[in-house]
Amino acid sequence: MPQDSLERLIERLEHAAVTLRANELPTDRAAALVDECARMAAEAGSELDRQVRAADVPVAPGQMALGNS
């Protein structure tokens, strides 16, 4: 997921938060929006994990890289 897609997810989450705080949605729509927020947050978290793992960060002295035995 490119950085701009991650930014769009963040914007959608922020917009959903504003919508939910307004307390104007029927209960079923609010529940569906909360479920969608959870899905988007999980997607964003997974992408952030991938980016961190893909970063070219040297292994600290005295530590082994993941995947080494």
Residues 26-39: tens digit of each pLDDT: 999 999 999 999 99
The per-residue b/e assignment along 6-29, b for 16 or more CB within 10 angstroms, e otherwise, is eeebeeeeeebeeeeeeeeeeeee
Question: Which percentage of the chain shows pLDDT scores above 70?
Answer: 86
Q: What pTM value is reported for the model?
A: 0.69
* pLDDT tens readout for residues 1-32: 667 888 999 999 999 999 999 999 999 999 99
Domain boundaries along the sequence of the chain: 3-54
Instruction: Write the secondary structure of 3-56 as one string of H (helix), E (strand) and C (coil).
Output: HHHHHHHHHHHHHHHHHHHHCCCCHHHHHHHHHHHHHHHHHHHHHHHHHHHHCC
